[in-house]
Structure 1
Amino acid sequence: MVKKSIIGVTLLVLSGCSQLPESLQTAAEQPITDLTMVIENPQGVQGKDVRLGGVIASVVNEADRTRLEIASLPTDQSGRPDIQAKPQGRFIAYLDGFADPIEYAAGKLVAVAGQLRGSEIGQIGHFDYTYPVVFAQGQQVWQVKERIRLDDIDAYYRCLGIRCQYIHYGFRPGDATVHYQLTP
């Protein structure tokens, strides 16, 4: 009975970690989540709901809105950008009102939900680029958390024995792996 309770609590906690934040909900049940679809068919997707994310390249506060230039990364079902993936291109997201440039600084991870409305011509360096434009109705800035996992099964078994040699030897650098997790 205790094992079933522990498993139930664990599943509840894990399912809470993968849910889509309320700020990234859209009216459409299946919004566009792949920028390559937008780039390949810009006219066919105008006015449709999107949920896109990536790395902020620049932020500019205008009189009544904020303009974010975002290097798009694929997102999972919970809206988290995949930090291991290659960028898919860039898009512009307009947020209503003022967005603090500290919170929305270049290099931070963000996801936006809104509608596609046209495009803007700009430049990346000296290269002319056509940016799809998203008018965001919601957004989520993601924090990167590091988890270090020590995989030293041999040390675990040595500690279960009569002598606990692990305390004296410490862990070996080759035994550690770093996992990155995105959190709101």
Structure 2
Amino acid sequence: MRRFILLLILVGLTGCGHVLSEQARSRIDSDVNLAEVRADPEAYRGKTLLLGGVIMGLDNEREGSVLEITPWRLDRWGEPIDLDDGSERILVESDRLLDPARFLTGRLITFTADVRGQQIRSDNYGVRRYPVFHLQREYLWDTPFRTMIHPGPNRYAPTYVGPDAKPHGNPYDPGYYDAYPYTPYDFRPGQF
């Protein structure tokens, strides 16, 4: 009986571990945080950080990929839980081409990355200075958002689908889940 209880405890403890391996986390410089890197990226070049957040964009280039990420604070298991106070976006470069079907805009990610410096980019809102990181290890979280659930002017807008929602057999089925958030397109097929 004691062995059985010990086995249950061990199985329970393994389910409460960090999403990234011990080997990936062993390289992290815990005395450096993102706010310090934002203030002076060149001073922390080569340091490794544990970061996470929301993917805002992915650019695949000839040499690899670049992720644009809005950083979030992480819990002790590495899950992004809420917006970081600085909330300015960061760039994360990868030597490999990242699959746009996996690295979707709006998906949560936890990763380790080395500081590479900074990059200045201009967009419609002006000129921005981005801290640049080099991706080492990553973990993509399952997303509760789905697209193409509701017909209407913006079918690609993400819609929250809770864990207790009834699954649809067809991803293009416009049936409404009766879950948050409310949408004006809450009719079911054959209703009209």
TM-score, structure 1 normalization: 0.65
Mapped partners of 2:43, 2:78: distance in 1: 23
Amino acid at match of 2:127: D
Counterpart for residue 56 of structure 2: 57
Identical columns (%): 26
Mapped partners of 2:57, 2:22: distance in 1: 21
Indicate the larger mover: 105-114 or 12-21: 12-21
Amino acid at match of 1:36: A
Q: What is the number of residues matched between the two proteins? A: 147
Counterpart for residue 121 of structure 2: 122
Counterpart for residue 45 of structure 1: 44
Counterpart for residue 68 of structure 2: 69
CA change 1:14–1:115 in 2 (3 A) is same
**Residues 91 and 130 in structure 2, CA contact (< 8 A), matched pair in contact too:** yes
Mapped partners of 2:163, 2:107: distance in 1: 19
1:133 corresponds to 2:132: yes
Mapped partners of 1:110, 1:71: distance in 2: 10
Counterpart mapping for 1:29-178 below 5 A: 29-31=28-30, 34-83=33-82, 88-123=87-122, 125-144=124-143
Mapped partners of 2:132, 2:143: distance in 1: 26
Instruction: Judging by fraction of residues, say which structure has more helix.
Output: 1
Measure how far apart 1:27 and its partner are. Answer: 4.9
Counterpart for residue 159 of structure 1: none
Counterpart for residue 178 of structure 1: none
CA change 1:139–1:59 in 2 (3 A) is same
Higher RCO (Cα < 8 Å, 6 or more apart): 1
Mapped partners of 1:32, 1:104: distance in 2: 29
**Residues 65 and 95 in structure 1, CA contact (< 8 A), matched pair in contact too:** yes
Mapped partners of 1:124, 1:43: distance in 2: 23
1:18 corresponds to 2:53: no
CA change 1:71–1:24 in 2 (3 A) is farther
Displacement over 3 Å in runs of 4+: 4-8, 29-34, 83-87, 144-148
Measure how far apart 1:80 and its partner are. Answer: 1.8
**Residues 71 and 88 in structure 1, CA contact (< 8 A), matched pair in contact too:** yes
Unaligned runs of 5+ in 2: 145-161, 165-192
CA change 1:63–1:84 in 2 (3 A) is closer
TM-score, structure 2 normalization: 0.63
Q: Which has the larger radius of gyration?
A: 1
